[in-house]
Structure 1
Amino acid sequence: MSSWDLPPDYPLSSDFVRRLKSALATGDKDMVQELICTEAEPVDAVIELANDDWMKEPSAQLPTGALLGLWTLEYKRELTTPLCIAAAHGHVLCVRHLLSRSADPDASPGGRGALHEACLGGHTACAQLLLQHGADPDLLNAEGLAPLHLCRTPASLGCAQALLEHGATVQLECGPDRVTPLHVAAQHGLDEHAQLYLARGASVDARNGRGETALSAACGAAMRSPDEQARCLRLCALLLRGGAAADARDEDERSPLHKACGRARPSLCTLLLLHGADAGALDYGGASPLARALQTTTCAPPAAQHRTVQALLNYGSPSVWPDAFPKVLRTCAQVPAVVEVLFNSYAQLRVSESWLEVVPEEVYQMHEPFYRSFFALAHTPRCLQHLCRSTIRKLFGKKCFYLVPHLPLPETLQKYLLLEPEGVLR
């Protein structure tokens, strides 16, 4: 019978657990230390910190999910040990004391050991102590993940270093998605972790269960804050310098560029294009990176909403099929710079006054100078300067971004050739 099946030494209803939970909730480190180091017996006592067994307790208040029918027949408890609690909260002295009393560093009645807890919390000193006392650096938790896979924050870098120094497997594929530690670092934008793993021999283009490389995982991850985005950009640059395939496809034939465009990250898209990503690649659904960029235009920061579309077109992406332009106008009307960049990628595209119906009146009024110039083209051809631009761009093809800056032209004309928006159409 496993520890999970045995009654806990300290059930949820016990006075010990009540005092422990109170101390943890208030951050009373002294009380936590006293309880788990002096009162808890035996040293590897099983402690029940939570019990979601509302189905067996009629008086229990049902969680919201149950009221929606999202309940499970599974009996769930949070079981732990004094050592796990100490490691999870970074109590180094407690960890040392418990280990000196021969606490089992790999005990995990709740499916997660003390080393897992230390890594999740980024507590390097605790992780080092556990490893020095024989903790298994590749021990899998209940989800099938090793400690390295739980190093998910910048603060956990020291834990990752300690794990590798004690023999952790850098190329270990874990969990239902068969991810490596490098995939985890990529998903969380941890550039220093990635550098550490690559230096220890991690395969830069290893695939997970969905066919993603670390670069693909990084490009598809949600990075919300500027700091997260900056770290992710550094990580992707590191992977590309390390030989990562810029155009590696996942099981849906999506490339890293597809995913970066879907996340509205122009700097990352430009980086991928500079390293040879195919601007015209199609996924299984027939979507191009440009289509993904147009779909997420309104999600991009205001100062960069047109940059991804501009970069893709300057690296040879085919433009949108002319008959589909009204659909693009409907989606991107509130971002006229995107409409302008895309419209200028055609040598000649007939403007229909019926398109006015897809531009909301309030959007038209907000950007009236642009839309007045746009619909004025329904009655007149494009100017000679634009036609010259189109001819040069057609001649340069996919090399526009590289060749235009070498032309003996003023910077303003170079920007014009590279579709820099002006706010009006001529």
Structure 2
Amino acid sequence: MDFTECYQDTCSAVGLAARAGDARRVQRLLKRGYSADVKDNRGWNPLHEAAASGSTECVRLLTTSTDSMDSCDYVNSLTHNSETPLYFAAKNGHVRSVKLLLKVAADVNLKTHDLSCPLFAAVDGGHQETVKVLIRHGAEVNGQRSVSGWSCLHQAVYRGHADIVRMLAGVSSLEAVDDYSITPLFLAAQYGHSQCVEMLAGAGANVNCQATDLATPLLIAAQEGHLACVEALLAHGANPNLYCNRDQWQLPIHAAAQFSHVRVLERLLEVTERECECSKGKVSPLYQAVLSERPASLAPLLRAGYNPDAQPCFGYTCPLELAMESSYTQSDEGVEIVRLFLGAGASISDQAHSLALRSFQLLQLVLSCRGLPPSGPERAALAGLALAEVDSASCWLPLLLRAGMEPALLLHPGLFEEAGEEVLSFFLEFVNWRDLPQEIQNILSRRQAVSSVTTMKPLEGIPPLAHLCRLQLRACVGSQRLAERSYVQRLPLPSLLHDYVQFSDVFRKHCNSIGILSVS
């Protein structure tokens, strides 16, 4: 026999012939004494090549050659990764080669380094006939068959091979779990294989199984937006009210809201109990919609009657506060979320008002939806919150005054001490600056004395008669009424004066000076 062939990087002559499926050449080489057991740098011998290429005739020749039968281990010879010829034949779906190898005592359950096996490889490739043959010859269908701990049924579900799933469901453990306690049914729900969900649930798989982190198939299907899987799970008894985390608050409806799977969310709204809506220790799904900036999720929740005020969570007294945080309101989605809450009647806490006062866009939205607080004490409280945000006065001052806030509520020394000169010059247009409290006049005088610009009105100047007239009109009808265009139009005044008595010229000038569009 010629054993002189030894290649570090290439296949032997017999191996190359087997790879090409050239049975005649394999036969000639074997007759000339070439070895059938020379391995290449991967540890492949000619039988591996023949099995991988699906050349059944080459497999027959190699397994019946004189030298190859010196050891019964030849048919189960391993590559450097512990793959057998049967493994390659099964992986590539060469069912005739599989049958022949099994006939000559190939071990059907030998594992590779990565814990795969012929059956697992055939399942992965979707080779239904090969799977049947392997099972009939005793292939182990249960147990961990991969490094992740998956069974063959896991892999069939993952690939979406419905016919193989149907086959394995009758002979495999439906509750086999991987390293994270994930079952095949869970995988089917995760990857949207609704047909597999139906098969497994119909065969008796537990639809309420929980992974290590307590996630359920229904939660993962909702998170991924697989409506058909959600429907199948619910039809087979999946519990939408089973909490899916250790803090006992997350339900499938939260996952649907977080990822804005609206159709799934609407379906879960029909079956989910409302315990999480306002209960202490729970979390309303409204928070999930806000955290992920999903107005499309928020709208159906509010339409379904979820309380817009909800319970305190994540350090916020209500979802609206969270929505008004600057990090959530720099986008159109964030502003739309605030709009939806206001439209649903959400209460505006002091903290929410404070957050709105820092943003021209948000405060304009709040005032357009709700207007000013109706009562004097509430309005005074809002003025107090505004005065605590002097740095943002150039934004909130024109909005509050345009909405009908009484300027007297804002006559506070802190504003005149800290606000910019442009803001003060604007504000003085709404008062009789000769009639200001002495403390404020002293502050203004002191600021004028050290100012390098002359944006503020000289306090010694006499207010124009027209200015005094519109101040008097406001005192007679009230700031709130004067802010209403329809009311002003009914006053016995020439239409040319309507804008003037509403201080429109002052608002326009201020908006232009600070670079905002309009307060109307």
Deviations for 1:310-335, whole angstroms, at most 9, x for unmatched residues?
Answer: 11122333325254442177346322
Q: Which residues in structure 2 correspond to 1:25-104 (within 5 Å)?
A: 32-34=53-55, 37=59, 42-48=74-80, 78-104=81-107
Q: Which moved more, 1:145-154 or 1:181-190?
A: 145-154
> Does the CA-based 8 Å contact 2:153-2:184 persist in structure 1?
yes
Q: 1:379 to 1:183 in 2, by over 3 A?
A: closer
| Residues 1:249 and 2:240 are matched in the alignment | no
Tell me how far 1:44 sits from its aligned partner. 1.7
> Does the CA-based 8 Å contact 1:247-1:278 persist in structure 2?
no
Aligned with residue 308 of structure 2, among 314, 319, 336: 319
Percentage of pairs with the same residue? 20
Q: Which residue of 1 aligns with 2:22?
A: none
Q: Distance in 2 between matches of 1:219 and 1:11?
A: 55
Aligned with residue 148 of structure 1, among 153, 156, 161: 153
The 3-state SS of whatever aligns with 2:82 is: strand
Tell me how far 1:80 sits from its aligned partner. 1.5
Tell me how far 1:113 sits from its aligned partner. 1.0
The 3-state SS of whatever aligns with 2:344 is: coil
Aligned with residue 330 of structure 1, among 320, 324, 328: 328
Tell me how far 1:178 sits from its aligned partner. 2.1
Q: Which residue of 1 aligns with 2:368?
A: 377
The 3-state SS of whatever aligns with 2:157 is: coil
Q: Which residues in structure 2 correspond to 1:139-178 (within 5 Å)?
A: 139-143=143-147, 144-153=149-158, 155-165=160-170, 167-170=171-174, 172-178=175-181
Deviations for 1:199-248, whole angstroms, at most 9, x for unmatched residues?
Answer: 1111221233332322123233xx4xxxxx4xx21111111111111111
Q: Distance in 1 between matches of 2:305 and 2:8?
A: 63
Q: Which residue of 2 aligns with 1:186?
A: 189
| Residues 1:123 and 2:144 are matched in the alignment | no
Q: Which residue of 1 aligns with 2:118?
A: 114
Q: Distance in 2 between matches of 1:184 and 1:241?
A: 18
Q: Which residue of 2 aligns with 1:237?
A: 231
Q: Distance in 2 between matches of 1:281 and 1:47?
A: 59
Tell me how far 1:342 sits from its aligned partner. 2.1
> Does the CA-based 8 Å contact 2:158-2:187 persist in structure 1?
no
Q: 1:315 to 1:157 in 2, by over 3 A?
A: same
Tell me how far 1:122 sits from its aligned partner. 2.2
The 3-state SS of whatever aligns with 2:122 is: helix
Q: Distance in 1 between matches of 2:140 and 2:304?
A: 49
Q: Which residue of 1 aligns with 2:26?
A: none
Letter matched to residue 343 of structure 1 = L
Tell me how far 1:130 sits from its aligned partner. 0.9
Aligned positions, number: 313
Q: Distance in 2 between matches of 1:262 and 1:17?
A: 53
Q: 1:139 to 1:45 in 2, by over 3 A?
A: farther
Tell me how far 1:186 sits from its aligned partner. 1.5
Q: Which residues in structure 2 correspond to 1:339-354 (within 5 Å)?
A: 339-346=338-345, 349=348
Q: Distance in 1 between matches of 2:151 and 2:193?
A: 17
> Does the CA-based 8 Å contact 1:123-1:156 persist in structure 2?
no
Deviations for 1:326-371, whole angstroms, at most 9, x for unmatched residues?
Answer: 2177346322443322221226648859737558xxxx7xxxxxx7
Show structure 1 runs of 5+ residues with no match.
Answer: 1-9, 22-27, 49-77, 224-228, 298-304, 365-370, 384-425
> Does the CA-based 8 Å contact 1:219-1:257 persist in structure 2?
yes
Letter matched to residue 339 of structure 1 = V
> Does the CA-based 8 Å contact 1:294-1:332 persist in structure 2?
no
Q: Distance in 2 between matches of 1:374 and 1:273?
A: 29
Q: Distance in 1 between matches of 2:268 and 2:232?
A: 12
> Does the CA-based 8 Å contact 2:144-2:178 persist in structure 1?
no
Larger of the two Rg values belongs to structure? 2
Deviations for 1:56-88, whole angstroms, at most 9, x for unmatched residues?
Answer: xxxxxxxxxxxxxxxxxxxxxx33222222222
Deviations for 1:256-285, whole angstroms, at most 9, x for unmatched residues?
Answer: 112222222111111111112437358998
Letter matched to residue 145 of structure 1 = W
Q: Distance in 2 between matches of 1:315 and 1:280?
A: 14
Structure number with higher relative contact order (C-alpha < 8 Å, ≥ 6 residues apart) = 1
Q: Which residue of 1 aligns with 2:268?
A: 272
> Does the CA-based 8 Å contact 1:12-1:18 persist in structure 2?
yes
Aligned with residue 136 of structure 1, among 136, 140, 158: 140
Deviations for 1:357-410, whole angstroms, at most 9, x for unmatched residues?
Answer: 558xxxx7xxxxxx7962652893599xxxxxxxxxxxxxxxxxxxxxxxxxxx
Q: 1:45 to 1:139 in 2, by over 3 A?
A: farther
Q: Distance in 2 between matches of 1:119 and 1:112?
A: 11
Letter matched to residue 297 of structure 2 = T
> Does the CA-based 8 Å contact 2:308-2:346 persist in structure 1?
no
Letter matched to residue 166 of structure 2 = Q
Q: Distance in 1 between matches of 2:164 and 2:40?
A: 29
Q: Which moved more, 1:316-325 or 1:203-212?
A: 316-325
Show structure 2 runs of 5+ residues with no match.
Answer: 1-5, 12-38, 69-73, 310-317, 375-519
> Does the CA-based 8 Å contact 1:204-1:244 persist in structure 2?
yes
Letter matched to residue 374 of structure 1 = L
The 3-state SS of whatever aligns with 1:79 is: coil
Q: Distance in 1 between matches of 2:279 and 2:255?
A: 11
| Residues 1:214 and 2:217 are matched in the alignment | yes
Q: Which moved more, 1:306-315 or 1:30-39?
A: 30-39
Q: Which residue of 1 aligns with 2:482?
A: none
